[in-house]
Amino acid sequence: MKLAKLGFFKVALEQLRRNKLRSFLTMLGMIIGVSSVILLISIGSGLKAYINEQFEDLGSNIVYVMPVAEAQLRGQGGGFSPGATTTFDQADLADLERLKLADLVVPMANFSALAAYKSEEFLAQGLGCTVDIAESMNLKFEYGRFFTKSEESRGKSIVVLAGKVKEELFGESNPVGKKIKVEGEVFEVVGSVAKKGGGLGNDIDSHVYLPYKTVWRLLGKKEFHFFTVSAKSQEEIPELKNEIEKALLKNYEEDDFSVVDQADLLSTIGNILNILTAGLAGIAAISLVVGGVGIMNIMFVSVTERIKEIGLRKAVGATSSDILWQFLLESVVVAVVGGLIGVVFSWLLTLVINKFFPAQVTLWSVVLAFGVSSLIGVVFGVVPARRAAALSPIEALRYE
């Protein structure tokens, strides 16, 4: 029986070889379907990996204190927005710095900052902060230094550039000592932070860091938009969050702010990305069903074209089961070969996409797409195969 099935497999391959164009057009639906499913899942997986890396770069023990509207926006994968109704002040900073479990408290005044040097411009994300941000977020310097406590307290017009901003304004040259304009005001560059990688929206490579008192003067408002609080260890994060909430509830309502750690943010963002990826992959999978219908139609055509061949084979001893296996295997081979081409094509395309956008092929997406394409070959091949198997040898030989 195994030898017979091997013979059917050879016949199936021979049919593909003899009808190359028709076979390719039949496979096209499977190629597009498998490629689409794998590509969309790869982009979703790559995006999740990118976000995880970005959070790891910021440090693993950080708790974020944000206005509720801003916390919701951050949980949806967006950036920080100074348009939230709740803002914080220096008294809140002092309250948080007094907490027992707080290691580093970094206040941030956030704004969109147009940075310009000569003819070059870049829309950066401005952060008015304290010098502690360098340690809190593991910033590593390419050139120069961060501003000092003294420069921070005096509100000096100095700026530290993140990697992408430095690259856009100065290319490969050293920016230290150069004068740039931020929102029309002249600032001296004292340092630039090494590029962390990535290119997704307002990422951490798009920041310009300024003393918070300088930003207060620039914006004309003495307010903070959020805080980052570093715990001394990961084990102390839940207790630290409770301490922060108790401290802020003295001056704010519970609905005015949100205290979240990286695990909370990653879980929220991950759930959103999973739903989005699953939905898009489900839509792409429709093309697999369309490809299956194409296989079934072509197999019906193949059965009609080869009725005399079926009658002749049955006349010399082939059973209905033999005919069923032959046509079913032809259908499966079309689906499997189309699936394999789709896997290779999506892998190559993912390599190209990854140069511009986070994407990575996952084993489970390949197994899922290839498995479904093979199953479709079986399901949509059964009906035409059964029709071929049910033909009477006498009627088949008489067929014109």
C-alpha to C-alpha distance for 358 and 326, rounded to whole angstroms: 44
What mean pLDDT comes out for the span 190-194? 94
2 pLDDT higher than 50: no
- Within the chain, residue ranges assigned H as helices are 2-18, 20-57, 68-75, 90-97, 133-136, 149-154, 163-170, 212-219, 237-248, 262-305, 307-315, 320-353, 363-389, 393-398
- Output the pLDDT for position 114: 93
Query: Where in the chain are the domains?
Result: 2-52+269-398, 87-251
C-alpha to C-alpha distance for 244 and 237, rounded to whole angstroms: 10
391 pLDDT higher than 70: no
C-alpha to C-alpha distance for 26 and 295, rounded to whole angstroms: 6
- Output the pLDDT for position 245: 92
**pLDDT for 312-360, tens place per residue?**
777 777 777 777 777 777 788 888 888 888 889 989 988 888 888 888 8
Largest CA distance in the chain: 102
Angle between helices 320-353 and 2-18 (to 10 degrees): 60
In terms of DSSP bridges, do strands 185-193 and 158-161 run parallel, antiparallel, or are they unpaired? parallel
Count CB neighbours of 275 within 10 A. Answer: 11
- Output the pLDDT for position 80: 43
- pTM of this prediction? 0.58
CA nearest neighbour of 332 among 284, 379, 278, 392:
379
C-alpha to C-alpha distance for 219 and 135, rounded to whole angstroms: 26
